[in-house]
């Protein structure tokens, strides 16, 4: 089974249109199209795409549930989009970077491929908040460029207004994408997820076949 985990905050959960299975167990609630996980699953019905987003969480809170929501379910790929709430709550870019690094390292150490998305914009962000988001996003891109089993995807750009990268192109609340915005997030993620999932699937089966030979 090709299992993909979407790990993050509200922009993974699908806020405001959808409550993730974490928020409304066991299956989630609301407009299913208001989450990028649904659009990935629509593109690949054979994939098991799990929405592990939770509205309002910072990177340290997301990292605290990494074992439960990622490692214990053995995905081939984890998509991590997080950090906006660190910035929103007045924490430094370094705070988000520290916990993102922890999650990336833990996933790669467990041989889970990582797709690292950039922090999405919100329309009420101050110049300082936008500067901190750009600092985190620049760090994510640089970190991913050094890791062979990791991709950076500019999910911020996918939902930004053409004339202003610090504003959402469409939003029902000024803070989160519309369903069509979540679809654009999925479209941006899809090539990297396809490539990483295929490579991880092949590598996992090579290891299993080699285990049969050596036993």
| CATH code: domain of residue 13 | 3.40.50.1110
Helix axes 179-214, 36-43, angle to 10 degrees: 60
> Per-residue pLDDT for 209 more than 90?
no
Angle of helix 93-109 relative to helix 127-145, nearest 10 degrees, comes to 30
Tell me which residue has tokens 């990292």: 63
pLDDT at residue 1, as a whole number: 82
CA distance 153 to 144: 9
| Domain extent for 135 | 3-214
**Which pLDDT belongs to residue 200?**
82
Count how many domains the chain has.
1
pLDDT tens digits for 28-86?
999 999 999 999 999 999 999 999 999 999 999 999 999 999 999 999 999 999 999 99
pLDDT over 70 percentage in the chain? 94
């Amino acid at each position: 089974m090709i299992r993909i985990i979407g790990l993050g905050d509200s922009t993974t959960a699908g806020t405001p249109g959808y409550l993730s299975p974490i928020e409304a167990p066991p299956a989630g609630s609301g407009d299913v199209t208001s989450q990028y996980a649904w659009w990935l699953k629509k593109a690949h019905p054979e994939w098991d795409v799990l929405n592990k987003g939770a509205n309002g969480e910072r990177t340290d809170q997301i990292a605290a549930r990494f074992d439960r929501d990622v490692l214990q379910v053995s995905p081939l790929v984890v998509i991590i989009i997080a950090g906006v709430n660190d910035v929103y709550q007045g924490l430094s870019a370094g705070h988000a970077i520290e916990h993102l690094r922890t999650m990336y390292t833990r996933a790669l150490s467990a041989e889970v491929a990582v797709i690292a998305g950039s922090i999405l914009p919100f329309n009420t962000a101050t110049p300082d908040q936008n500067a901190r988001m750009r600092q985190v996003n620049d760090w994510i891109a640089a970190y991913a460029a050094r890791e062979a089993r990791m991709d950076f995807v500019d999910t911020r750009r996918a939902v930004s207004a053409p004339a202003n990268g610090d504003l959402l192109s469409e939003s029902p609340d000024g803070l989160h994408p519309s369903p069509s915005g979540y679809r654009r997030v999925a479209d941006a993620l899809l090539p990297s997820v396809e490539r990483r999932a295929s490579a991880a699937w092949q590598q996992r089966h090579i290891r299993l076949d080699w285990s049969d030979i050596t036993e």
